[in-house]
Chains A and B, each alone.
Chain A
Amino acid sequence: MNQDRLRLDLADLADEVTPVDLRDRALRTSRRLGIQRAVVTSAAALAVLAAATGTALAIRPDGQAPAPAVPSVTSTPPPSEASPPPSAEPSRTASASPSTTTGGGPASVAIGRLFYGPTPTGDDTSAAGYLWSYEPGSPPTRLAKLPRLAAILNAAVSPDGRRVAWVDPDDNLRVADVDGDNPRKLTPGGHRQVERDCWTPVWSPDSRRLTISVVLRPEPAPAWEKGVVELNTGTYTRLAGIKGCHPLWSADGTVLAYADGEGRVAVNRPDGSAEKLIPGVGGSGARSSFDVASISPDGSRLALLLRKPDEPAGDVARELDANAVIDTRTGRQVDLPLGGRTLRQAWFGADGRLVARVNAGDHNVLVLIGADGRKISESREPAALKDLQILQLAD
């Protein structure tokens, strides 16, 4: 190949780009990075953090990022790691907190205990991201107070519903009881920082281990390594051969599923030794997916967000919305008995049941579907939970 010609043609191709002024956008992103760093040192910063949903959420290929409601910033202080935190009155009340008196349909104990957290688009502008639990027949319960960004991006409740893991704004891995008691900071394999956007913490089915991605080297030349840490002993095992984001671990312990970031979805053994791509998702297919939400106990079905070719792909931040359940062997979509209603989220229980969350105007409805695919019952979700997202369906 004539490399001089290649040089000329690359230069010609580069002429296609339209110059734009990125000054204000760069400063806004910089400010969000600063807020994330400042938040651990000042409670005053928390109210601002609630408005700025974080860098990862702000970077979208279509340029239509949810514009963070950073309070009227017209100039940015000189950059410094020691920048004073933005002044703002901390919000002490969770303004959009689900009311314990709202909603409540017919009790359906079979659905089980659901855990909820904030969404990037929720109306809640309070500083913290609270974890909630809800079981049909009982009012929602407010649990641990987490950094809002962590609650949105990476908080994960253990399958037994006892503990929550998250990555704080300083990239530290933390674990606590779901009510916030007994907080611990973990350093898997001696690494102080873990990844918080892509390979986010995920619990093993026995709720004793977490798969995480440790930061081997920070910016400007970052490097990560995936691994599994045992909570009781601290034992850390490196995971090789896996490239992807947003892992799910099947209840029988045999399957890890994850999005590969190119629109495909893979299923693999937990040791990374047998990766298979799900047919018909990504590649030249008409559907792609960058966000997987829940996996059936044996890894045969997956709840995920499928996108058509003309849909913006979003960014690395996790999305737990699901618009389909597919068979992981064939890629075929599984019919759900939803009566034509739009699926918002879908969570598998350890026994194979599926809780489908569908839109019903000012509230959502939880549809309980058996492992055989038949509808068992429905339950009206309290309207106060409408703007939260389900993070886990506990055993």
Chain B
Amino acid sequence: MDPLLSEFDSFVRTRTPALLRSAYLLTGDQHLAEDLVQSALARTHRSWGRLHDSGNAEAYTRKIMYHLQVSWWRRRRVAEAMPGDLPESRGGDSGPDHAQQITLRLTLRAALARLSTKQRAVLVLRFFEDRSEVEAAEMLGVTVGTVKSQTSKALTKLRTVAPELADLYVTEGSAR
């Protein structure tokens, strides 16, 4: 096999799971997440000749992914329909704690679906990928001020659209 293709294969197979996790939070849907990662990986492949030994392939792919998600016409109808869409049970613990966690997950998922793509992107970058504001700004191609304001708006909207979530977080937070 072509060595470059072999390297790309290896990159895809090791990094796809992590990319899909971010993409799932960005899109709220398995198929949309797959489409997003697939599109980003395809563009990475086109540039693999210069990326493969740079060590920046994953950063490049993620950057493409965020830009596709924020800039593209991403049809959110599927995501908006999600609140009534129960996730499949993963089995295992079915006790009260597990049920509460499932409810919480559903609520958070529904609340995220109410955010704009940019608000969702800053939340995922800041609180899932643990990026700094500067890193998030660089990733999205916006100013740090925009990241700050979008983060603030996103958190406010989360509180507004899911007060029960905010209550839970505040209660648990204050009990610590």
Contacts and interface: CB of A to CB of B under 8 A. Distances in A.
B121 interface: no
B155 to A, nearest CB: 6
Nearest to A20: B34
B20 A1 contact: no
Contacts of B130: 7
A29 B39 contact: yes
Given A13-B105, A18-B30, A219-B43, A78 B77 contact: no
Contact of B45 (A26, A60, A316): A26
B31 A61 contact: yes
Interface stretch (A183-191, A229-237, A307-315, A326-334): A307-315
B12 A22 contact: yes
A5 B39 contact: no
Interface residues of B, number: 72
B38 A22 contact: yes
Interface string B106-135: 001100100000000001100110100000
A30 B61 CA distance: 13
Contacts of B29: 61
A139 to B, nearest CB: 38
Contacts of B1: 75
Contacts of B43: 30, 33, 219-220
A78 to B, nearest CB: 4
Contacts, number: 187
Nearest to A12: B105
- Which DSSP category, helix, strand, loop or mixed, fits chain B's interface? helix
B35 A3 contact: no
B153 to A, nearest CB: 13
Interface string A29-40: 110111000000
Contacts of A307: 77
B128 A63 contact: no
A78 B1 CA distance: 10
Interface in A318-357: none
Interface in B17-47: 17, 20-25, 29-35, 37-39, 41-47
A313 B74 CA distance: 10
A14 to B, nearest CB: 4
B22 A62 contact: no
A347 B3 CA distance: 53
B123 A10 contact: yes
A2 B46 contact: no
Contacts of B90: 15
Nearest to B23: A17
B49 interface: yes
Interface in A52-85: 55, 59-63, 75-81
Contact of A78 (B4, B23, B74): B4
A298 to B, nearest CB: 28
Given A2-B173, A30-B42, A219-B64, A79 B35 contact: no
5 contacts: A10-B128, A14-B21, A17-B23, A263-B80, A290-B75
Interface of B: 1-2, 4-5, 8-9, 12-13, 16-17, 20-25, 29-35, 37-39, 41-49, 60, 63-64, 67, 71-78, 80-81, 87, 90, 101, 104-105, 108-109, 112, 123-124, 127-128, 130, 141, 155, 158-159, 166, 169-170, 172-173, 176
4 closest Cβ pairs, A-B complex: A2-B173, A29-B42, A26-B41, A17-B24
